[in-house]
Amino acid sequence: MNSIVLALIAFVGYIIAYNTYGKWLGKKLFGLKDDNPVPAKSFKDDVDYVPTKKHILLGHHFTTIAGTGPIVCPAIGVIWGWLPAFLWVFLGPIIAGGVQDFTSLIISSRHGGKTIGEMTRGLVSNRVGIIFLILIQFLLWLVIAVFSMIMGILFNMYPQSVISIWMEIPIAIWIGYMVYKRNKSDTLYSIIGVILLYAFAVLGIFVPVTIPAIGSISPVVIWIVILLIYGYFASTLPVQTLLQPRDYINSHELIVLMAVLFLGTIVGHPKVVAPAIHHAIGAPSLWPILFVTIACGAISGFHSLASSGTTVKQLDKESDAQYIGYGGMLLEGALAILVIIAVTAGIGMYGAGKDGYLKYYAEYSTTAGAGLAAQLKAIVEGAANLMKAVGIPLELGRTLMAIFVVSFAGTTLDSAIRMQRFGLEELTKGKDNKPVGPFKNRYFTTGIVVLLAFALCMISPDGKGAMKLWPVFGALNQLLAGLALLIATVYLAKKKKIVLPTLIPMLFMLTITIWASILNMLKYIAQKNYLLAGITTITLIIAVWMIIEAFISILASLKKKEVYIEEYSKAGGGEYTHID
């Protein structure tokens, strides 16, 4: 199999899906109307709620959802061969991931910008909504702690990436000022920003930045502190000051690199050296583990938090939801396809052949069990080989790929802190529907979020404490995806709409993740890891509880003859009634 064939099948398929199924979801199923109010305008405060042009918001959304997941997860998933990984990454975004992201975004928009957890209170029940919000807080707590640790490790591994990553901050603030305060062209300044970022990437090769240990405090711990301090300010500053413009120019930088990898695929046209189906030594069963291993790039529950968290509060009009929600997921799928090509075809270029693949994928323990460093080596090597095909030196290619990975981790980190702050504010609402006490203050709430993440990191002196809980993340994240689709199904049922577009992927995801969770629970019990076994058991109980209550709600809706009416509380009072 030639890599060009895989790339063309996927990319042409995504384009067709966007212009057929994606448009049907928007126009026919949800009836998007630009005269419907959106939270960004109804609650506009120029801090969190800011109406944003759709191409800028796509940049923010894409870099938020595409953390290290669509890079690392497919690189692990090809342990079962290129065919299962390719099929899941190709079909997943079209029928599952894109549907989840889009429905979470538009349903949140029609419920005043509430997060997926808060919406559950009204769509299912108050008690289920509270439990769901707590589950989401746990997941985001893990994400923030682990991503700050990952970035610290990556800065240690690739010191040549440090200058480029940190220069994104002043460049983003400058571009945000010029676009929002001086009304300059966002296109022109984004081009200038990308040029500057790549210039600093080249500079980083000659000026690598390392941080020495301070006594017994390792460089990774020092980086964690610096990153969480940055995340605090990124979460509390007005979104258009730093977070949004940083994500926007970062998305351009990353899309350029994706284009280079695609061009390298065309020019180098490497043959896929990985077997279609591979039985690696020690690898667990493909079913259901593949679908938990490859989350981002196919479907990821974290995306529903991004859609109903930061993205919805910047949505300028309803019709933009298809472009940002469904289109953003297809763009992430394209990234995952390029990663699969890099680690199954690019890795075998220049004489390496099939041995180049087997070097990393002969045994499961050397792929998924050897830590981030082992996973990244295959990605960086394969991607650098593809870039070499278009004349980019290997060392520069490795640097660019390192920046690629760290940048995605960074844009997910700062957005996740903001998302957890929103969720914590919703969880602490009082009778007046506003956060109680000090939780009204975004500086206080963000401080709580950051300190809790740091505490989790420091359970272990090397800053890797979150890894004690990380094994439960994969199944929990995919369970969240199933539950987000469940909420969308409840919504559609109450609206007397066709539920199959969300019901089918929902049933698949819930079956796969509950199956995987049971297998994990049995494994943890056998290992006498009662902490992880306990967390998994509690998660399963919550999931079953939510499923039962949601289906009761769906059945009750199907029995009713009246049309479901949404209530949308505006900032100035009154209600928005939307009747199909």
Query: Smallest Cα–Cα separation from 163: which of 203, 193, 221?
Result: 203
| CA–CA dist 84, 79 (Å, integer) | 10
Beta partners for residue 315, in sequence order? 52
pLDDT of residue 562: 43
pLDDT above 80: residue 144: yes
Q: Could you give phi then psi for residue 195, rounded to 5 degrees?
A: -60, -45
CATH for 3-578, among 1.20.1740.10, 1.10.510.10, 1.10.490.10, 3.60.21.10? Answer: 1.20.1740.10
Q: What is the CA radius of gyration of the chain?
A: 23
CB atoms closer than 10 angstroms to residue 115: 26
The answer to whether the CB of 374 falls within 8 A of the CB of 360 is yes
Task: Quickly state the pLDDT bin for 579 (edges 50, 70, 90).
Answer: very low
| Digit-coded pLDDT (tens) for 422-448 | 999 999 998 788 899 999 999 999 999
| CA–CA dist 258, 280 (Å, integer) | 29
Side chain identity, residue 289: I
pLDDT above 60: residue 568: no
| CA–CA dist 450, 232 (Å, integer) | 7
- Report, as an integer, the average pLDDT of 520-534: 94
| Digit-coded pLDDT (tens) for 51-105 | 999 999 999 999 999 878 888 899 999 999 999 999 999 999 999 999 999 999 9
| Digit-coded pLDDT (tens) for 228-260 | 999 999 999 999 999 999 999 989 888 999 999
∠ Cα 499 326 59 (to 5°): 155
Beta partners for residue 575, in sequence order? 569
The answer to whether the CB of 394 falls within 8 A of the CB of 383 is no
- Report, as an integer, the average pLDDT of 36-50: 96
State the SS3 of 320-371.
HHHHHHHHHHHHHHHHHHHHHHHHHCHHHCCCCHHHHHHHHHCEHHHCCCCC
Q: How far is CA 152 from CA 22, 242, 340, in A?
A: 38, 21, 25
Q: How far is CA 391 from CA 39, 68, 84, 506, 560, in A?
A: 47, 26, 32, 45, 65
Least confident of 45-49, 284-288, 555-559: 555-559
| Digit-coded pLDDT (tens) for 464-511 | 999 999 889 999 999 999 999 999 999 999 999 999 999 999 999 999
Q: Could you give phi then psi for residue 361, rounded to 5 degrees?
A: -125, 15
pLDDT of residue 373: 66
| CA–CA dist 276, 6 (Å, integer) | 12
Side chain identity, residue 333: G
pLDDT of residue 557: 73
| Digit-coded pLDDT (tens) for 348-365 | 998 889 998 888 888 887
DSSP tag of 46: S
Is this model's pTM higher than 0.85 or not? yes
Helix, strand, or coil here: 571? Answer: coil
**Peptide bond preceding 288: is omega within 30 degrees of 0, i.e. cis?**
yes
Question: 175-208 burial string, b = 16+ CB within 10 Å, else e?
Answer: bbebbbeeeeebeebbebbbebbbebbeebbeee
Task: Quickly state the pLDDT bin for 546 (edges 50, 70, 90).
Answer: confident
- Quickly list H helices, 428-462: 442-457
Task: Quickly state the pLDDT bin for 124 (edges 50, 70, 90).
Answer: confident
| CA–CA dist 352, 559 (Å, integer) | 63
pLDDT of residue 372: 63
Rounded to the nearest 10 degrees, the angle between the axes of helix 219-236 and helix 243-268 is: 120
pLDDT above 50: residue 409: yes
The torsion defined by the Cα of 333, 337, 340 and 342, in degrees rounded to 10, comes to -130
Tokens 């203050």 label which residue? 441
For the chain, the domains span 3-578
Q: How far is CA 58 from CA 97, 196, 303, in A?
A: 16, 21, 13
| Digit-coded pLDDT (tens) for 2-26 | 999 999 999 999 999 999 999 999 9
pLDDT above 90: residue 201: no
Q: How far is CA 154 from CA 2, 453, 473, in A?
A: 32, 18, 20
| CA–CA dist 155, 161 (Å, integer) | 7
| CA–CA dist 72, 81 (Å, integer) | 15
pLDDT above 70: residue 578: no
Question: What's the chain's average pLDDT?
Answer: 90
- Report, as an integer, the average pLDDT of 447-454: 97
Query: Smallest Cα–Cα separation from 161: which of 194, 203, 204, 197?
Result: 204
The torsion defined by the Cα of 501, 64, 512 and 125, in degrees rounded to 10, comes to -70
Rounded to the nearest 10 degrees, the angle between the axes of helix 3-17 and helix 327-344 is: 170
∠ Cα 347 351 352 (to 5°): 40
Q: 41-44 — which CB contacts under 8 Å span 24+ positions?
A: 41/316, 42/112, 42/568, 42/570, 42/571, 43/112, 43/113, 43/313, 43/571, 44/571
Residues 6+ away with beta carbon under 8 Å from 1 = 82, 271, 272, 276
| Digit-coded pLDDT (tens) for 356-393 | 888 888 888 777 666 666 677 889 899 999 999 999 99
